[in-house]
Amino acid sequence: MKRWMSGWLAASALVATACGPTDESELAQDARVTAQEATGTDQVLPRWETAQERQVSAMAAGDAFWAWQCDPSTYQFTSVGTGARFPTEAESTTGVLIGWPDYGCTVPELAGLVKAGLQGNTQVSILTAPNNNNGVTSCLRRAGLTDAQLARVEYVPVDVDSVWIRDYGPEILTKTDGSRRFVDMSYYPVTSSTCSNMQGRVRDDASPTRLAAQWNAEVVRPKLRLEGGNLQTDGKGTCFRAQRNAEARNNFSEWQYTPDELNEVIGAAHNCKVQVMESLVGGVIDHIDMFMTVISSKTILVGQYDPADDATNAAILDRNAAKLAGLGYRVVRVPMPKTYCRKVLAGCYGQEQQVQACDGTNERVWATYMNSIRLGNVLAVPVFKWVPAADKATVAAQEAKALSIYQSEMDREFGKNKVKVVTIQGDGLIPCQGSLHCTTMTYK
């Protein structure tokens, strides 16, 4: 049983009544994670907030304490400061942070990202416990990295619980003097009944402040619950978020923000005006990096579903694209992979033999080409090979079109062949509802 979940299983029977899932897809996810804890078949934490984590929030509203009450120096909210800019990812090419938990070697996407980062001539910094360093090095060597490449990888002694550093890691702003400011938003709930047994993704939530101490950077902690995968910027003073879950997570026992108040808090911390995008439906995590990516200050790529596959979400993305175009952005549509499913498993991490056509008894795999990441002079795009046999030709054609669009847009924005599009297979992580963007945090 994983460290941070000990003590929660006794409460899991209360989940359905006390803080249950909001739809049938979350119910399936919650059942799967509970089974995962019981069997130990999969260590990979999902990207979504589990039922147990929602239960922790409910308990904290009663007799338990929040992390910021127990450990103010690490979690307490601060003023957010002024005089900093939130750069777009096209500028954030100096380095990349990758969170490597104990089970990181079982996630080949991480090694692929390290290789891509080195190929792109960006500094690769791995956040991991010091006793993991040798194991990570061995893992990377097995993945094909040379000793010369390994010498360019930095290990930062900051322990983490999960791979989703985009969601829990620091948003890195540039101050007027060129130094960095870390914005540390509250991640999934960390609580304690006595302030001596904090439960939740404790290491993840503390990692921005601990990294700031390592790098001698300023860190601010706004009174805000938001994951970084649900925040993007054009680098010119506009930010984007999805609507539904951000508003729900900031309307709870400790504070109740209206949508406008939430936008003001986000905007004050990141020095931007917030634009709200319509959320996808059907059980996908409510993060905008699952359906759009800002590739420059003026161009945004937005996913496009075939209405025959998903008419509801196709219409939602059409409306989002129209809104962005109305704001003056150049909007380019990128195909979303044909919908497919897999058997419900104990853990979220993918298995090729479990992929199948959707039949109403299985769960959807939310594959997306939009969860890409710029790594110096390369752009890494997730691709998906574990699809039903009947869909392989269709998905292969969609992949080819998506990659062609990406390369064309990179050439248009930055000059021909200045940024090379590379692919990393994302079939393992995508059932956990995240991919390459979710597992990296880049900085200027």
pLDDT at position 43, please?
80
pLDDT at position 62, please?
66
Q: How confident is the model at residue 199 (pLDDT cuts 50, 70, 90)?
A: confident
pLDDT at position 80, please?
97
- Containing 8, the helix (H) or strand (E) segment is none
> Residue 362, by phi and psi: left (phi above 0), alpha (psi -120 to 50) or beta?
beta
Average pLDDT over residues 256-270: 98
The per-residue pLDDT for range 304-351, each reduced to its tens digit, is 999 999 999 999 999 999 999 999 999 999 999 999 999 988 789 999
C-alpha angle with apex 116: 113 to 122, nearest 5 degrees? 100
More confident residue, 308 or 10: 308
The per-residue pLDDT for range 266-277, each reduced to its tens digit, is 999 999 999 999
Average pLDDT over residues 247-253: 93
- Within 13 Å and on the Cβ side, how many CA atoms surround 137? 15
Average pLDDT over residues 232-259: 96
Q: How confident is the model at residue 197 (pLDDT cuts 50, 70, 90)?
A: confident
pLDDT at position 22, please?
37
Q: Which two tokens stand for residue 390?
A: 């009947």
CA pair distance 163, 220, nearest whole angstrom? 22
In this structure, are residues 292 and 303 in contact, taking their beta carbons and an 8 Å threshold? yes
pLDDT at position 59, please?
65
Residue 9 scores a pLDDT above 70: no
In this structure, are residues 183 and 146 in contact, taking their beta carbons and an 8 Å threshold? no
The amino acid occupying position 230 is N
List C-alpha distances in Å: 246 to 68, 97, 226, 243, 416: 20, 24, 6, 6, 38
Average pLDDT over residues 379-388: 98
Q: How confident is the model at residue 61 (pLDDT cuts 50, 70, 90)?
A: low
Task: Provide φ and ψ at 289, rounded to 5°.
Answer: -75, 0
Residue 392 scores a pLDDT above 90: yes
Q: How confident is the model at residue 114 (pLDDT cuts 50, 70, 90)?
A: very high
On average, the pLDDT of the chain sits at 90
Q: Considering the domain 3-443, what is its CATH architecture? A: 5-stranded Propeller (3.75)
Average pLDDT over residues 252-267: 97
The amino acid occupying position 390 is A
More confident residue, 222 or 33: 222
pLDDT at position 194, please?
86
- Helix, strand, coil shares, percent, the chain, to 5: 40, 20, 40
pLDDT at position 57, please?
67
pLDDT at position 8, please?
31
More confident residue, 69 or 41: 69
Give the rounded percent of residues in the chain with a pLDDT score beyond 90: 81
The per-residue pLDDT for range 115-171, each reduced to its tens digit, is 999 999 999 999 999 999 999 999 999 999 999 999 999 999 999 999 999 999 999
Give the rounded percent of residues in the chain with a pLDDT score beyond 70: 89
More confident residue, 425 or 35: 425
pLDDT at position 24, please?
34
In this structure, are residues 367 and 355 in contact, taking their beta carbons and an 8 Å threshold? no
Q: How confident is the model at residue 41 (pLDDT cuts 50, 70, 90)?
A: very low
List C-alpha distances in Å: 72 to 148, 221, 265: 42, 11, 20
pLDDT at position 38, please?
31
Q: How confident is the model at residue 42 (pLDDT cuts 50, 70, 90)?
A: low
More confident residue, 415 or 65: 415
Q: Which two tokens stand for residue 431?
A: 């059932």
Q: Which two tokens stand for residue 279?
A: 């959320």
Residue 251 scores a pLDDT above 50: yes
Average pLDDT over residues 428-443: 98
Residue in this structure with the two tokens 């919908």, named with its chain if needed: 339
Residue 185 scores a pLDDT above 80: yes
- Containing 304, the helix (H) or strand (E) segment is strand 299-304
Return the domain boundaries, the chain.
Answer: 3-443
